[in-house]
A and B are shown apart, each in its own frame.
Chain A
Amino acid sequence: MVVTVALGTAPAARAQARVSIELWHALANPLGKVLEDIVAGFNASQSTYRVTPVFKGSYTDTLAAVIAAFRAGRAPLIAQVYDVGTATMMAAKEAVYPVYQLMRDAKVPFDPSLYLPAVRGYYSLPDGRMMSMPFNSSTAVVWYNKDAFRRAGLDPERPPRTWPELRVAAQRIRSAGAARCALSSSWFSWIQLEQFSAIHNVPFATREDGFGGLDAELRINGPLYVRHLETLVEMQREGTFTYGGRDATPDGLFPSGECAILEASSALRARVVREAKFAWGVTFLPYYPDVPGAPYNSIIGGASFWVMRRPDATPEQYRGVAEFFRYISRPEVDARWAMETGYLPVTFPGVERMRALGYYRDNPDAWVAYQQLTRTRPTPNSRGIRLGNLPQIRIIIYEEVEKAFQGKQTAKQALDSAVRRGNAVLREFQRENR
């Protein structure tokens, strides 16, 4: 981790010694390669700064490494932290350099209103000031197998929009034997609870889903949630829903053709394009039509760039960080990242550029994700989740839900238990960060 500072002393030295900035990230190939290309583009576009990307493993590994490095006074200046780590980063006030402050101090022009509200809201303080720089944002959508639909006598161009419709479609797929598994879901906690709460505008937790304070409590055992989990458990019993495991494990079920319908991240696109040997389509997350105002906007997932404080960092280096952020916010860079990886563009100009290039005309599925994210202005329940130790809470949810699917407890018991255990985790976080 060599930190070289460009000194004004020798002109020859200045020409060669760039200000060096490290960026620690968790993107394995092929995404990591695209990031490296973008960073190389920044380095080539000017001669003062050099950003060096370093792959640190999974998001969990990367965050652990950043924290350990910080404690030793050697944090990287830019750290990619996943969405569920946002609360941890926000609570570490002295350790991070808020983006709004950085851009202001470095006198780099910065307009937060250019960012999609759903994206901006996730990473900002309640009053709108941005704490971290959004980069790779995805949302959840429904992937469906058009060939399987046809086989089941369903219209592939008119996919189901509501849960009742989806259930009927799944039943038709099952009875026609059009696929071994009708419906499954990746990231069960993220999609079936967090996204669920957003599109139905019901609270996931009090205090505006945690944005308002560390004393938030979970609300995922409310009547709508219980009803939804009960529905899924019934569907599993009738064979129309298959619980595929945790996190992204069920991802493989769709491109292989095993499951006809999969609720998953929009970022699954790269795999689907490469591996699916059937006609496929993308549609919006289903909702319960009797919930007033539904469906609302969905929330993002992914990660953002946080700026870390470091005792020996220089103002030049932070200026370099600000310039790097300005570079990646350019419409052409934002659009390129989205088009090559399947993540969403995070700025309006980025979206416009993609539209102008005809990308959305050629890839209507990408447009679904964008529409879903922006169809309403974010409400306090659809701005995102900001809870401490959210990874732990998700694991608790997985455990309880799995027991319900195994028939060991009812949906209500599962969610009550999740709330109880999850609240304990939240109180622990609150204790540690008082």
Chain B
Amino acid sequence: MRTLRRALPTHLVLLAGVFVFAFPVYVAFVGSSYDAATIGRGQMPLVPGPVAASNYVQAWTSGSGERTSGVPVRVLLQNTALMALLIAVGKVGLSVLSAYAVVFFDFPFRMELFWLVFITLMLPVEVRIIPTYKVVSDLGLIDTMGGLTVPLMVSATGTLLFRQVFLSVPEELIDAAVMDGAGPLRCLWSIVVPVVRTNIAALFVVLFIYGWNQYLWPLLVTTSQARQTILIGIVRMIGGGEAATDWNLIMATTVMAMVIPVAVIVLAQRWFVRGLVEVEK
């Protein structure tokens, strides 16, 4: 009993945190279960309403309400998922190759080239957004999946991580492989990568979330409706501040936008946490 009383403040704090996090999502879900008129009149209560299914179906298949012409959530989710996947795969691939080169080889300008790659950490894309936009535009990559994903693969977070990790791969493993006659690429593929596969998985999860949650870059680079990502789609639906918006569809879309990244986090929680804590170190 005494331990329970002592534990009570702890529980309260934690419950408060959980509640603050969960409440807005709950309200969004409620919002996705009513019709736009009820919400627009300010009469939405705290309990879910009757039209959730039809709202989700409508958002999924057409994305358009009475007042807005949107894009089907199906398309938005496809775009976003593809973008996140490409960014994650691309960045992981690039960093593994680059880190491997810097750690396992000796060649002229090794450290200089590493620093060159390293300084990309210094400037998030937002800070050089307009000239990057111009470069992408000059290359004709506006409104393409390539233009959307490739510029976001540049920063060297993964390279830094894998450099640390590769430096701590046991020497004996490499020694053994080399004595067996393995060349550098064989070594990479058969020895090093399997050893660091948990790091790869962790980084992949982190980068997938990072890619999914991109906002400013997709805002600028996607110009046609068909290419929008789900975040941009949602904000465009809210539009110009009129009170008469299809709130029910917006909330349904918002809920659907959260499902995949949250599911990824919850399922891959251990990897994700490890990946996050190690990437930033």
* Chain A residues packing against B (C-beta within 8 Å): 28-30, 32-33, 54-58, 65, 68-69, 71-72, 245-249, 251-252, 256, 271, 275
B: interface residue count bin? 20 to 34
A32 B241 Cβ-Cβ under 8 A? no
25 contacts between A and B (CB under 8 A): A28-B67, A28-B68, A28-B69, A29-B67, A29-B69, A30-B67, A32-B69, A33-B69, A55-B69, A57-B236, A58-B240, A65-B223, A68-B142, A69-B142, A69-B223, A71-B134, A72-B138, A246-B241, A247-B240, A247-B241, A248-B240, A249-B242, A251-B242, A252-B244, A271-B244
Q: Write out the residue numbers on chain B whose beta carbons fall within 8 Å of the beta carbon of A71.
A: 134, 137
Known: A58-B239, A247-B241, A252-B244. A68 touches B133 (CB 8 A): yes
> Within the complex, which residue of B224, B225, B236, B242 is in contact with A252, where a contact is CB–CB below 8 Å?
B242
Known: A72-B137, A271-B244, A275-B244. 15 other contacts (CB 8 A): A28-B69, A55-B225, A56-B223, A57-B236, A58-B240, A68-B142, A71-B134, A71-B137, A72-B138, A245-B241, A249-B243, A252-B242, A252-B243, A252-B244, A256-B41
B130 closest partner in A (C-beta): A68
**B249 to A: closest C-beta gap in Å:** 13
A248 B67 Cβ-Cβ under 8 A? no
**A215 to B: closest C-beta gap in Å:** 29
Q: Write out the residue numbers on chain A whose beta carbons fall within 8 Å of the beta carbon of B164.
A: none
> Within the complex, which residue of B41, B224, B242, B244 is in contact with A54, where a contact is CB–CB below 8 Å?
B224
**A166 to B: closest C-beta gap in Å:** 25
| Residue B140 lies at the interface, judged by CB distance under 8 Å to chain A | yes
> Within the complex, which residue of B68, B137, B242, B243 is in contact with A68, where a contact is CB–CB below 8 Å?
B137
Q: Of B138, B224, B236, B240, which is in contact with the most chain A CB atoms at under 10 Å from its CB?
A: B240
| Residue B64 lies at the interface, judged by CB distance under 8 Å to chain A | yes
In the complex, per-residue mask of B42-82: 1 if CB is within 8 Å of any chain A CB, else 0: 00000000000000000000001011110000000000000
Complex Cα gap A256–B236 (Å) = 24
Q: Write out the residue numbers on chain B whose beta carbons fall within 8 Å of the beta carbon of A69.
A: 142, 223
Q: Write out the residue numbers on chain A whose beta carbons fall within 8 Å of the beta carbon of B133.
A: 68
Q: Write out the residue numbers on chain B whose beta carbons fall within 8 Å of the beta carbon of A56.
A: 223
Q: Write out the residue numbers on chain A whose beta carbons fall within 8 Å of the beta carbon of B138.
A: 72
A56 closest partner in B (C-beta): B223
Q: Write out the residue numbers on chain B whose beta carbons fall within 8 Å of the beta carbon of A65.
A: 223
B223 A249 Cβ-Cβ under 8 A? no
In the complex, which residues 215-246 of chain B have their Cβ closer than 8 Å to any Cβ of chain A? Answer: 223-225, 236, 239-244
Known: A55-B225, A72-B142. A248 touches B137 (CB 8 A): no
Q: Which 9 A-B pairs have the closest CB atoms?
A: A252-B243, A29-B69, A72-B137, A249-B241, A65-B223, A28-B69, A28-B68, A32-B69, A248-B242
**A153 to B: closest C-beta gap in Å:** 29
Q: Write out the residue numbers on chain B whose beta carbons fall within 8 Å of the beta carbon of A252.
A: 242-244
Complex Cα gap A28–B236 (Å) = 11
Complex Cα gap A67–B161 (Å) = 40
Complex Cα gap A29–B63 (Å) = 12
In the complex, which residues 120-141 of chain B have their Cβ closer than 8 Å to any Cβ of chain A? Answer: 133-134, 137-138, 140
> Within the complex, which residue of A72, A271, A275 is in contact with B140, where a contact is CB–CB below 8 Å?
A72
**A77 to B: closest C-beta gap in Å:** 16
Q: Write out the residue numbers on chain A whose beta carbons fall within 8 Å of the beta carbon of B225.
A: 55
**A360 to B: closest C-beta gap in Å:** 27
Q: Write out the residue numbers on chain A whose beta carbons fall within 8 Å of the beta carbon of B69.
A: 28-29, 32-33, 55
B228 closest partner in A (C-beta): A57
Q: Write out the residue numbers on chain A whose beta carbons fall within 8 Å of the beta carbon of B142.
A: 68-69, 72
**A319 to B: closest C-beta gap in Å:** 26
Q: Write out the residue numbers on chain A whose beta carbons fall within 8 Å of the beta carbon of B41.
A: 256
